[in-house]
Amino acid sequence: MPTLLCPSCDWTYQPPDDTVPARCPHCWRGELTPAEETPAPLLPAEKYIPFNVSNPTLDANILSFAKGIPFAPKDLTPATLRKRLQALYLPMYLVDADVEATWQAEVGFNYEVVSHREQYGGAGWQTQQMKETRIRWEPRVGRLKRQYHNIPAPALEEHAQLIQQLGEYDHTQAKFYAHEKIDALNAALKAKEREDKRRLQGLPPAQPVGAPKAPDPLIRLPSRPTADAWPDTLPGLQNAAADECRKAGGADHFREFRWQATYANPNWTQLHLPVYTTFYLDDENRPQPILLNGQTGRLSGTRRASMKRAQTTALWLLLAAAVVFGISVVLGLVGVAVPPLLVVGGIGVFVAFVIALGAIVPVWQVWQFNKR
């Protein structure tokens, strides 16, 4: 299966089958072509986060993005954005590693202190018992030898920028690809059992044979070597170790964890994050990409108003002002002989002036919106 390359943004993809999309789903400008260079061996994909956005949520978020733009480009409609929607998986690294370390930390245990407070009231002096929860901190040191699994690290150079646009993902909802295959096999077996029962009962098949299947998402390939991503796994490894030490100590609180660790036998796999992409064309006929978090539905993209539509509206207003002004001038000339028409002509000139001033509003409104 060839690796696909976008010459415009340099994103590389692994297609799910032999079908090659016409455009890059990242920039929507370049046409995807087979990469000339032989790619490095691909790391296995171990887990994925499913596409969980419901169709009503998807439609509502797309509609919310499209509306509220003054003089939106003609191409920016919910139906167009929905039609161009492309599913995509973004990669993250997952690493397993053996760790040996010495560590030290402070563990805290809650305890209660009973005190008494004297208070003077209508019945005289009264003693009130007070309970206060305090923390007793104790130092701890130890050694550990553990193997930690599936510590995440960014696999893309632009990972932080993408997450800022899409929002965080809930990694606890990730599934193993092996489980997906088992679930698909079980579903196929159950479907076959149902069809066998229908056939024995003389009923037609519930579904036509060879029903079309929705295309699988493209998979963005990592752009960072694992050696560059390794430092990003260290905080995750340390947090996992600190959590284990806290649980082992049975403490209520845990702080000032420090360790000196050595690592061995790192094993790298991938986690796939779900994304929808689409686009609209602006005034210059340039694609404006839109990204949508496939788990939460959060949408991000550049919202551009159409200066061409604003200018067209302004021209129509100026034309209307010119017509009103011309009629008013004619009425003013006739008003020399018929005085009441002179007043009507004056009012018409004022209305034409107001309409002409209003022609500035669409252009100013679009300029302000695009400036923001």
Domain-embedded: residue 14:
yes
What is the torsional sign of CA 68, 365, 285, 3? negative
Does 340 map to a domain?
Answer: yes
- Total domain count for the chain? 2
**Whether residue 264 is found in the same domain as residue 358:** no
Q: State how far the Cα of 186 lies from the Cα of 181, in Å rounded to an integer.
A: 9
pLDDT value at residue 164: 94
- pLDDT (0 to 100) of residue 209: 40
Tell me the residue range of the domain where 161 lies. 4-54+85-102+141-205+215-304
Last-in-domain residue among 304, 320, 351: 304
User: For residue 74, is it within any domain?
Assistant: no
* CA distances in angstroms from 347 to 166, 179, 332, 351, 363, listed in the order given: 55, 78, 10, 6, 26
- Is there a single domain that holds both residue 37 and residue 180? yes
CA 41 from chain centre, in angstroms, equals 28
Q: Looking at the structure, do residues 160 and 38 belong to the same domain, yes or no?
A: yes
pLDDT of residue 66: 80
- What is residue 323's predicted lDDT score, i.e. its pLDDT? 85
- Residue after which a domain boundary falls, among 304, 327, 351: 304
What single-letter DSSP state applies at residue 31? B
Are 43 and 155 within one domain? yes
Chain mean position to CA 243: 29
Which contiguous run of DSSP H or E holds residue 5?
Answer: strand 4-5
Residues 172 and 321 in one domain: no
Of all residues in the chain, the percent with pLDDT exceeding 90 is: 35
pTM of the model: 0.75
Residue 120 lies in a domain: no
On whether residue 16 sits in a domain, the answer given is yes
Show which of 247, 278, 304 is a domain's final residue: 304
Q: Is residue 43 part of a domain?
A: yes
Residue bearing tokens 């990242």: 26
Q: Assess if residue 200 is contained within a domain.
A: yes
Note whether residue 32 is domain-resident: yes
Q: Please tell me whether residues 279 and 313 are part of one structural domain.
A: no
For 15, 243, 274, the CA distances from 184, given in Å and listed in that order, are 20, 35, 19
> Can you give the pLDDT at residue 210?
38
Same domain, 291 and 273: yes
Query: How far apart are alpha carbons 262 and 101 in whole angstroms?
Result: 6
Same domain, 275 and 346: no
pLDDT of residue 180: 57
Q: Which regions of the chain are under pLDDT 70?
A: 1, 17-20, 37-41, 121-123, 179-194, 196-199, 204-215, 335-336, 338, 342
